[in-house]
Amino acid sequence: MSDHPLVPGPSSAIERGPWHYGADYVSVYFQGDVRPLAKLVPKAFNVDEGLCMAYVCEIISVGDAGEAMVASRPDRTIYQEAALGVKCRFGDRQGIFYPVMWVTTEWSLLRGILNGYQKRLADRISMTKLHPLNPGLRPAGPGMEFGGFCVKGPETTLKVAVKILKAGSPKDLPSFGTTFGMRRFPKTDQTQGEVDELVEILKSNSKVSDVWVGTGSLSTTLDVGKIDVLSGAVYRSGFTISGSKVLN
């Protein structure tokens, strides 16, 4: 039969993995309030500090051996993403859980849900892009501002802004540990099976480059309590995701 939308394959919404990503980020790091943040993550995760990040990014992504799709089906290789992540702990393991991750394409929505991300479809995500040959634009550098927003229905669910102070390096970006997730596929009837499990995303090949650090600001429809922005950053990153592993 045709591939089921959630079962990776040629006629599915999801390419066969592992999946490779190259992304340009505008990120803001902030402190929220522990109590509302604790309500945004599964109970098994402890929110100790209230450290969070929010970002908007554009991603070029291909399945393993799917390089040709950047030419034959570019619409299956480009998407925008906006997300807010909360630092938390599972036992003695530190990580980040994203209560919501908005994306602009079906395939990133379903692939993410399959792997354990709480993805939602955005109506629109837009973010700063520069171009080295545009006579009216300077390259990234001190004083330059970057921004992005995510719209869903009548709401701007996330908006971030970063003002660059100086060039940085990958180690200037706060570390959150592993990426936590949750895979759910609930019953709608007692005869059905279900999946309900906490996972750790299997990420490798991480690289970061073109880091600029500065100040930031953000607004969101999620309740994160009082927002105390720590810093902002603009950078590029690449990585591979091969799936996710059940936490225990």
Shortest approach of a copy of itself to residue 174 CB, angstroms?
19
User: Residue 234 Cβ, how far from a copy of itself at the closest point, in Å?
Assistant: 10
Q: Does 42 bind a copy of itself (CB under 8 A)?
A: yes
> Angle 163-166-168 (CA atoms, 0-180°, nearest 5)?
110
CB of 240 to a copy of itself, least distance (A): 5
Residue 175 engages a copy of itself in binding (rule: CB under 8 A): no
Rule CB under 8 A: say whether 73 interacts with a copy of itself.
yes
CA 81 to the chain's CA centroid: 6
Q: Where are the beta strands (DSSP E) in the chain?
A: 19-31, 51-63, 78-90, 93-103, 119-121, 124-127, 145-152, 155-167, 178-185, 195-220, 228-246
Contact between 228 and a copy of itself (CB under 8 A)?
no
- Is there binding between residue 23 and a copy of itself (CB under 8 A)? yes
If 0-12 CB within 10 Å is exposed, 13-18 middle and 19+ buried, where does residue 83 land? buried
Stretch that binds a copy of itself, among 3-11, 27-35, 169-177, 225-233 (CB under 8 A): 3-11
Binders in 109-148 for a copy of itself, by CB under 8 A: 109-110, 113-115, 118-121, 123-124, 126-138, 144-148
**Do residues 66 and 19 lie in contact, with contact meaning Cβ atoms separated by under 8 Å?**
no
Q: What's the start-to-end Cα distance of the chain, in Å?
A: 35
Residues making up the chain, counted from first to last: 248
Looking only at residues 184 through 223 of this chain, which bind a copy of itself when binding is defined by CB under 8 A?
184-186, 188-189, 191-197, 199, 202, 205, 207-209, 222
89 forms part of the interface with a copy of itself (CB under 8 A): no
Stretch that binds a copy of itself, among 27-35, 107-115, 168-176, 225-233 (CB under 8 A): 107-115
* Shortest Cβ 156–a copy of itself spacing (Å): 5
CA–chain centroid gap for 38, Å, is 19
